[in-house]
A and B are shown apart, each in its own frame.
Chain A
């Protein structure tokens, strides 16, 4: 890092910008990335254009001027809870592959249109990930399986009826050897039904998922004899060290982690500190106070090195005289030099950890941690936490551990063995896709041919479904009932919010039906009419267990209303940790040093794609990756040094060769990568998911190594070579130029505490016009850059709320993306090892808005409540406003995105106009929500209360970095935020008077241990 205090930092968005490279400069100097005339350059000239215009005038004159006849089709019987024009909200739960969230689903006229986080859910506490928010799109996915089907000899699926399917399936099931393969369900009642099912049919339940957390469970088992995924309490940790673990992005429960972490991110001398050692740049690393790059294979050495510092060098901890421990640490005596970290820094971090023992946390795991030596990394980390007395404090494995991760590769391994041995006669697969996500070398696909009958229950005819004899499509989770226990004692209800779109049947009802027809299984399974009955019966039994007395109906209604029953919170006890467990020192024998040389490949799960299940959702494909900002593609991240060595730049296709596989993919030069590490995302390269997701990128799962059934995702030795081909990457950022202006501001906590407005350059501005007096409301926003992690949940929230189209790869390349809210990512410092700052950027609703003065038709004007309003029907599309906007937040509809493939149109928010071609649009501060709140306030003859209006981005934000409200109310939170000394407006010097203000990013670069108070490193 060049400048430790950020006083005169130079920020840059891309390496090209940093060095003002020729080609980039050309693009940056243009106001728009591509010219509108580019449409005409291929073949159409001006004369043709005039001809076309003439033709359209002629056509217009012949068409009828009478408006189209429209119909109003009322309900036959209107359900009493539905009032057209008024939204209903239902508490529900969404869980996918272990990650679960309490949700509030907004429905209009019986169709879900928006997912929000449930604020009373103890885990996500109101925040919701991008993936969860995109679920309103997935229920309307046109490529879903629409009916039960049977595969014929030609490999085609023929529609059959449920009766026919049941007839054939239940007979087959009676012959035994049944296996139900699912992902982690975390549903107590579904699991009960499965158990009941297997008392009727001979067989077993196998739980697997591609991004299983079984490395954590294996490590816990070895260290403590307890196979569990603990709950990580970042809210209680003052010193957080992550070793390759992306706990903000994709690991275990990221939304909860972010929320909890930010509780300790207070701007005082007690501010928490985040140190990240990682091989490739992740969201967590981008948020680190101190970030250190290490090889993936050196992660064990990092943890052992810290242990060595504490136990041997500093002679702290009661283990300092334990011979067994000292023997295990001996090999890691001089690791600092070996892994390329300064020895002083290593010992400073160890000191900080020890000084905060009991209030620190060390995490490792996720895909980057799954090297060949994954178990060693977990055991070492567990031991470090035990040494630091964190177990039972910040690591809760006994009171409220995570229950949602159950899937393991060991289970898959035994399943494959059973299949090969012919012990599996019927395989029922529910919503997992092993043919895609399990590399061929694991042998699943081959073993599948030895199974007599494969029944697939899923949403799409995906890679695995292609091998199925029968499709018994499951409901989408928004169509189905269910319950979940995401953490021990935290029960959430999953309510359906729409009638099933197609002829699907819930997996649970399928099991109930088959048991009924075969006349097997316990009465409670086969003698119910529906899955809901079974669920309710189960909860009738469970009601007293969760501490509820009184009539069941009251309990049930309340459960549906609240969405959650939290038994872990009895007597306010949720906040205590677990009990301290005894660490089994014998497990230290399993720790070996990994060997490392050459180039290492790290596979990672991206925020948008995760395990690849939702590849058919355009929102997620077009969600810029928080770090790289690339959309719609796979790419190999590599350091600038590596790129130089290979002689490649962005978009040059390189070949990745492991000992067994070869994959070709474009290179992307990513600052902050370890020079010997390259990284590739899994979750792309689907071949059978639907029109949107097929053929996007390459399948990173094929590079996963098979270590006798255990997967190796990280530190895979590879050779990279240049192929000479190129493919342009769709990068949503990097083509703008800041010209050295103050856009993001950072300060250290030390400077901030001395002077709260540290590093903000203030400008004297004056206006020759008198100020407008806002008499009623005056809407404004504040965004705290310290708590913003860049997780991008707000981007999808905004897209869902405001009917924002996806434009596809080609048009992102042409700079025509439509997101109203984007997260700008800035680098500061050396391109080999930069720091990262995220800044959400949206319409600033300037009081003196430059866009308004140049609109020739008054389509964009200022409201008397301070909103920069956009009147779509007035807009003629000159794009002058976009040209004149210094923030580049205005978006132009180059095409008629309003023709949406059915039934995706059902996901549209009816309160927001769907814009047509030729119209400019931008953030409205969710004016439709302002109207609803004002409407309610007027009904009650009052003014809008502070906090009553939440913009979509604000509502979804896991860390509550966004504040919105009425600036004319001096008591409102927004007034107080704007009055903060570290609050600044972007490009204030132009006197645009933005109504969105940012609070400086404050980093804790201090050392926490007392003898290091004046520290700091470079």
Chain B
């Protein structure tokens, strides 16, 4: 057999194996579970949702009506904080922003890629509880991403026969 051909074959195979391994290990597969970025204001879910038992949808008020659960606009914070704990510098920061008509740039925690469409409203209407995906938020001092939010994780639930959920690609991708 031609020696050159063997060498070339070996070289190509090596490149392919290395490349495949590289592609596998270098792509981010961690999906950010546990991602707990520092927020501009150290909002404490365990205090609001845990201790004071404020229902999730008091603040995330569009979860039932829209695709987005939405981070509350500042006037919702001010509903209480006009009078509650006004001496805190963090609350003063919110008040100041609100009065100026400015906003707070919260750091996004649960991030789905742009090509994935998730609809909060549909899941709530089906009776899925917030903690199924978001974990025990009432215990989180700093909010973090609980689940992987990977496609495999979504599909695992959608495939369960009792859920009778759609699994067509265009359910989420369009």
CB proximity to A under 8 Å, residues B102-119: 102-108, 111, 113-117, 119
Q: How many angstroms from the CA of A931 to the CA of B171 in the assembled complex?
A: 8
B75 touches A78 (CB 8 A): yes
A85 touches B66 (CB 8 A): yes
The minimal Cβ–Cβ distance linking A753 to chain B, given in whole angstroms, is 42
Q: Provide the main secondary structure of the chain A interface.
A: loop
List of A residues within 8 angstroms of B169 by Cβ: 861, 863, 869, 871
CB proximity to B under 8 Å, residues A868-917: 869, 871-873, 911-914
List of A residues within 8 angstroms of B121 by Cβ: 935
How many chain B residues touch A (Cβ–Cβ < 8 Å)?
A: 46
Contact of A863 among B65, B97, B101, B168 (CB under 8 A): B168
Determine if A1014 is an interface residue (Cβ-Cβ < 8 Å): no
B75 touches A924 (CB 8 A): no
A76 touches B74 (CB 8 A): yes
CB proximity to A under 8 Å, residues B62-86: 62, 65-68, 70-75
Determine if A60 is an interface residue (Cβ-Cβ < 8 Å): yes
Contact of B98 among A73, A76, A83, A914 (CB under 8 A): A76
The minimal Cβ–Cβ distance linking B19 to chain A, given in whole angstroms, is 8
Known: A60-B26, A83-B65, A931-B174. A77 touches B125 (CB 8 A): no
Determine if B24 is an interface residue (Cβ-Cβ < 8 Å): no
**Identity of the chain A residue whose Cβ is nearest the Cβ of B27 in the assembled complex:** A65
List of A residues within 8 angstroms of B22 by Cβ: 57, 61
Determine if A47 is an interface residue (Cβ-Cβ < 8 Å): no
List of B residues within 8 angstroms of A935 by Cβ: 119, 121-122
List of A residues within 8 angstroms of B37 by Cβ: 69
Contact of A914 among B68, B70, B114 (CB under 8 A): B114
List of A residues within 8 angstroms of B174 by Cβ: 869, 912-913, 924, 927-928, 931
A61 touches B26 (CB 8 A): yes
B101 touches A74 (CB 8 A): no
CB proximity to B under 8 Å, residues A63-85: 65-67, 69-78, 83-85
B170 touches A76 (CB 8 A): no
Q: How many angstroms from the CA of A871 to the CA of B172 in the assembled complex?
A: 9
A74 touches B168 (CB 8 A): no
**Identity of the chain A residue whose Cβ is nearest the Cβ of B120 in the assembled complex:** A85
B173 touches A84 (CB 8 A): no
Determine if A333 is an interface residue (Cβ-Cβ < 8 Å): no
Contact of B106 among A72, A911, A912 (CB under 8 A): A72
List of B residues within 8 angstroms of A67 by Cβ: 28, 32, 111
B105 touches A73 (CB 8 A): yes
Determine if A867 is an interface residue (Cβ-Cβ < 8 Å): yes
The minimal Cβ–Cβ distance linking B56 to chain A, given in whole angstroms, is 16
Determine if A418 is an interface residue (Cβ-Cβ < 8 Å): no
**Identity of the chain B residue whose Cβ is nearest the Cβ of A776 in the assembled complex:** B166
Determine if A166 is an interface residue (Cβ-Cβ < 8 Å): no
**Identity of the chain B residue whose Cβ is nearest the Cβ of A68 in the assembled complex:** B111
Contact of B113 among A66, A83, A865, A873 (CB under 8 A): A873
List of B residues within 8 angstroms of A553 by Cβ: none
Known: A869-B169, A869-B174. A71 touches B106 (CB 8 A): yes
List of B residues within 8 angstroms of A84 by Cβ: 62, 66, 68, 70
**Identity of the chain B residue whose Cβ is nearest the Cβ of A60 in the assembled complex:** B26
The minimal Cβ–Cβ distance linking B117 to chain A, given in whole angstroms, is 8
B73 touches A76 (CB 8 A): yes
Determine if A979 is an interface residue (Cβ-Cβ < 8 Å): no
List of A residues within 8 angstroms of B30 by Cβ: 65
The minimal Cβ–Cβ distance linking A798 to chain B, given in whole angstroms, is 15
A78 touches B73 (CB 8 A): yes
B75 touches A76 (CB 8 A): yes
Q: Provide the main secondary structure of the chain B interface.
A: loop
CB proximity to B under 8 Å, residues A763-817: none
Contact of B66 among A69, A83, A864, A914 (CB under 8 A): A83
List of B residues within 8 angstroms of A861 by Cβ: 169
In this complex, which of B27, B106, B107, B115 has the most chain A Cβ atoms within 10 angstroms of its Cβ?
A: B115
List of A residues within 8 angstroms of B62 by Cβ: 83-85
List of A residues within 8 angstroms of B97 by Cβ: 76
A76 touches B115 (CB 8 A): no
List of B residues within 8 angstroms of A421 by Cβ: none
Known: A78-B73, A869-B173, A927-B170. A73 touches B28 (CB 8 A): no
Determine if A938 is an interface residue (Cβ-Cβ < 8 Å): yes
Determine if A646 is an interface residue (Cβ-Cβ < 8 Å): no
Determine if A86 is an interface residue (Cβ-Cβ < 8 Å): yes
B122 touches A75 (CB 8 A): no
Q: How many angstroms from the CA of A77 to the CA of B102 in the assembled complex?
A: 9
List of A residues within 8 angstroms of B104 by Cβ: 73-74
CB proximity to B under 8 Å, residues A593-645: none
List of B residues within 8 angstroms of A939 by Cβ: 125
Q: How many angstroms from the CA of A935 to the CA of B120 in the assembled complex?
A: 11
B107 touches A86 (CB 8 A): no
Known: A73-B103, A76-B97. A872 touches B173 (CB 8 A): yes
**Identity of the chain A residue whose Cβ is nearest the Cβ of B62 in the assembled complex:** A83
Contact of A72 among B67, B71, B74, B101 (CB under 8 A): B71
B67 touches A74 (CB 8 A): no
The minimal Cβ–Cβ distance linking A873 to chain B, given in whole angstroms, is 5
Known: A61-B26, A83-B65, A927-B170. A77 touches B113 (CB 8 A): no
Contact of A75 among B67, B103, B113 (CB under 8 A): B103
List of A residues within 8 angstroms of B73 by Cβ: 74-78
CB proximity to A under 8 Å, residues B6-28: 19, 22, 26-28
**Identity of the chain B residue whose Cβ is nearest the Cβ of A864 in the assembled complex:** B168
B149-174 interface code vs A (CB 8 A; 1 in, 0 out): 00000000000000000101110011
A577-592 interface code vs B (CB 8 A; 1 in, 0 out): 0000000000000000
Q: How many angstroms from the CA of A865 to the CA of B169 in the assembled complex?
A: 11
The minimal Cβ–Cβ distance linking B103 to chain A, given in whole angstroms, is 5
A71-115 interface code vs B (CB 8 A; 1 in, 0 out): 111111110000111100000000000000000000000000000
Q: How many angstroms from the CA of A86 to the CA of B65 in the assembled complex?
A: 9
**Identity of the chain A residue whose Cβ is nearest the Cβ of B173 in the assembled complex:** A871
List of B residues within 8 angstroms of A76 by Cβ: 73-75, 97-98, 100-103
A938 touches B122 (CB 8 A): yes
B115 touches A873 (CB 8 A): yes
Contact of A70 among B71, B107, B122, B168 (CB under 8 A): B107
List of A residues within 8 angstroms of B75 by Cβ: 75-78
List of B residues within 8 angstroms of A867 by Cβ: 168, 170
List of A residues within 8 angstroms of B65 by Cβ: 83, 86
**Identity of the chain A residue whose Cβ is nearest the Cβ of B94 in the assembled complex:** A76
**Identity of the chain A residue whose Cβ is nearest the Cβ of B106 in the assembled complex:** A72
The minimal Cβ–Cβ distance linking A725 to chain B, given in whole angstroms, is 46
List of A residues within 8 angstroms of B108 by Cβ: 69-72
**Identity of the chain A residue whose Cβ is nearest the Cβ of B113 in the assembled complex:** A873
In this complex, which of A71, A74, A78, A869 has the most chain B Cβ atoms within 10 angstroms of its Cβ?
A: A74
Q: How many angstroms from the CA of A863 to the CA of B173 in the assembled complex?
A: 12
Contact of B115 among A74, A872, A911, A938 (CB under 8 A): A872
Q: How many angstroms from the CA of A737 to the CA of B37 in the assembled complex?
A: 58
**Identity of the chain A residue whose Cβ is nearest the Cβ of B170 in the assembled complex:** A869
List of B residues within 8 angstroms of A913 by Cβ: 114-115, 173-174
Q: How many angstroms from the CA of A951 to the CA of B111 in the assembled complex?
A: 30
Q: How many angstroms from the CA of A924 to the CA of B74 in the assembled complex?
A: 38
A85 touches B170 (CB 8 A): no
List of A residues within 8 angstroms of B119 by Cβ: 931, 935
A71 touches B170 (CB 8 A): no
List of A residues within 8 angstroms of B117 by Cβ: 911, 931
**Identity of the chain B residue whose Cβ is nearest the Cβ of A928 in the assembled complex:** B174
The 7 A-B pairs at the shortest CB distance, nearest first, are namely A85-B66, A78-B73, A75-B73, A863-B168, A85-B67, A85-B68, A869-B170
- Chain A to chain B contacts (Cβ below 8 Å), 10 pairs: A57-B19, A66-B28, A66-B32, A74-B72, A74-B73, A78-B75, A86-B66, A869-B169, A872-B173, A913-B115
Interface of A with B (CB < 8 Å)? 57, 60-61, 65-67, 69-78, 83-86, 861, 863-865, 867, 869, 871-873, 911-914, 924, 927-928, 931, 935, 938-939
5 additional A-B residue pairs with CB within 8 Å, beyond A73-B104, A873-B113: A71-B108, A72-B106, A78-B73, A83-B62, A85-B62
